[in-house]
Structure 1
Amino acid sequence: MTDTDRAERLRSERTPYVLATVVRAERPTSAKTGDRALVLPDGTMEGFVGGHCAESAVRDQALTLLRSGESTLLRITPAEDSAPLEGLVTVSNPCLSGGTLDVFLEAVIPPALVDVYGDGPVARAITEVGRAAGFAMRPADTDAPPSPDAAAVVVATHGRDEETVLRAALDAGVGYVGLIASRKRGAAVTSALEGGERVHTPAGLDIGARTAPEIALSVLAEILSLRPRPAHGAGPAPSTGAEAGRCH
């Protein structure tokens, strides 16, 4: 199986990985320009980007990038006093016998998966707008459990099987659980649920949304505002709790 085939399979399985590509090799090194490897979340490396020491440096940096979702250029060099350059991470590695490797590390993170329950205008709009925004959207029937790696579950079933779906999402530990409902009805539904305080209802940021596409935009904006961020970019999450234009 080629690197390309393997990468395609990982994407189809929604497995994050880092593609490491040698873009410059200063002899003597065992790697050559164009050599590539895939680094998986468990530290497994498939491919070749140099000997043991180079491989170790690539693995360590790749695992850091999988947590941040960023990409970078890694320089592995025996020099101890290399001048820092913007956009370049330099690792001093005495294992290299006088050579230097520049390796581009591209983090490939699957898009956040959002399960949407319901088949009305709001549910359809959330799915359509979400796809346009780069989310992986999964329309779901109320008898289907949340996806194992769902980042968010949005319930827009207009009163049908809401508690069942919400309970399953809460039990599964889904990061964002939203209910499309008025504030009054949403409070009544969630009050009967253990952990119901975790449900965002009315779902969405308060942007004065009234139409189905506007409600979809507000819900997806709320999901984005609450997604985990790297520590260096963390900040307070915006306030939430819109009720304008919600479906009763």
Structure 2
Amino acid sequence: MRNKRMLESDKVLEKAASLQSQGKPFALATVIRCESPTSAKPGAKALVEPDGVIHGWIGGGCAQPAVIKIARRALEEGQPYLIRISPERSVESENGIMDFGMTCHSGGTLDIFVDPIIPRPGLLVLGASPAAQALAALAKRVGFQVLVAFPGATRETFPEADQILDGFDMAAENLPAELFVVVATQGKKDEEALETALGLPAQYVAFIASRRKAEKLKAYLLERGHNPTQVNAIAAPAGIDIGAVTPEEVALSVLAGVVQARRVSAMRSQDKPVTLPLAVDPVCHMTVDIATAEYTHLHQGQTYYFCCKGCREAFAKTPEKYLVQAETGV
């Protein structure tokens, strides 16, 4: 049994490593405590992708829907959660533990730690100017995966960069899924750097230059046949106006603009309406995907959806009890 659990955990960790190498987010759920009887034991692991697909085993029935729900929340908020799945929800939850009172027949209790694994956003700095050097160092401290590309760029010039490319050829590079680009050439190979930036799947492109210079180079890019929407979206002059003078101050201004763009984009994505057809289990109040729900019950012409067989049977015996609770919130 122990060897089997170890093999299952190895598979989950291999999947985690694969997703990390691809720069994809996921949540890792680990059983840290149990009270028998439970099918999952301490150390059992499962990996949950943002779309709710789960790999591994941390219990079935009531456990999986709870873990998937909290995993999605953890990924959206970027913070871990400790959840408890037990036959009855505690009147007073322990500090730091999110309780899920379930009616499944197993009767056991599981404490599961759900940890979101979110890849660092990538900042690609095109250029080797003093501002580029200051930006690469500062962005690393803020939490970005820093890539630098410019002919002749060296580790000595960019000691804190995660990756350094000698030139603008990005064809063979495995770039971060969340990518921001700053052109910091400041007069050296501006055109080549800007065209490189426009050819990348970046969420945001900024150009350190005066307004007049930026307008001239945008006109050049349009003449070259680049997409007008992409060209006009280039943030130039780059950054937030703080009256920056030194390269370090310019880097601070530019990085503030990148962070602002990233946070605004994240808020907009969270405002998108949920399109999945969902229902709420009237017994345990778990969210249930209607399209894949296995347990349903028809009562007075309305279909109700359940996370497990135990919830469906409890509802079928006394539906009025649970419908009154749903109306009163008791």
Query: What is the TM-score normalised by the length of structure 1?
Result: 0.79
Query: In 2, are the aligned partners of 1:82 and 1:90 still within 8 Å (CA)?
Result: no
Alignment of 1:65 onto 2:49:
no
Amino acid at match of 2:168: T
Name the counterpart of 2:260: 225
Q: Check whether the contact 1:37–1:47 (CA below 8 A) recurs between aligned residues.
A: yes
Residue segments in structure 1 that go unaligned for 5+ positions in a row: 235-248
Residue of structure 2 equivalent to 1:186: 214
- Percent of aligned pairs sharing the same letter: 37
Match of 2:249 in 1: 214
Q: How far apart in 2 are the matches of 1:155 and 1:31?
A: 51
Matched residues in 2 for 1:36 and 1:214: separation? 46
Structure 1 position 123 matched with structure 2 position 132: yes
Query: Residue 181 of structure 2 is aligned with which of 138, 148, 153?
Result: 153
Richer in helix (by share)? 2
Task: Write the distance in 2 (CA, Å) between the matches of 1:187 and 1:82.
Answer: 64
Distance in 1 of aligned mates of 2:23 and 2:259: 19
Question: Larger deviation: 138-147 or 217-226?
Answer: 138-147
Task: State how far apart, in whole Å, the 2-side matches of 1:15 and 1:40 are.
Answer: 9
Tell me, yes or no, if the aligned pair for 2:183 and 2:194 is still in contact at 8 Å. Answer: no
From the superposition, tell whether residues 178 and 162 of structure 1 become closer, same or farther in structure 2 (CA, over 3 Å). Answer: same
Answering whether residue 120 of structure 2 is matched by residue 111 of structure 1, we say yes
Q: CA deviation at 1:106?
A: 0.6
User: Please, which of 146, 158, 168 is the counterpart of residue 142 of structure 1?
Assistant: 168
Larger relative contact order (Cα-Cα within 8 Å, sequence gap ≥ 6): 1
Contact 1:115-1:153 at 8 Å conserved across structures: yes
Task: Write the letter of the residue equivalent to 1:205.
Answer: I
Q: How is 1:81-100 mapped onto 2 (pairs within 5 angstroms)?
A: 82-83=91-92, 87-100=96-109
Structure 1 match to 2:284: none
Q: Report whether the alignment pairs 1:35 with 2:41.
A: no
Is the Cα–Cα contact under 8 Å of residues 24 and 177 in structure 2 kept in the other structure?
no
| Corresponding position: 1:26 with 2:52 | no
Aligned length: 230
- Deviating above 3 A after TM superposition, structure 1's stretches of 4 or more consecutive aligned residues are 3-10, 80-88, 145-148, 228-231
For residue 49 of structure 1, what is the amino acid of its counterpart? Answer: I
Shift, 1:50, TM fit: 1.2
Q: Which amino acid aligns with 1:100?
A: T
2:195 maps to 164
- RMSD across aligned positions (CA): 2.8
CA distance in 2, matches of 1:55, 1:112: 29
Distance 1:111 1:156, change over 3 A: same
Separation in structure 2 between the aligned mates of residue 23 and residue 82 of structure 1, nearest angstrom: 22
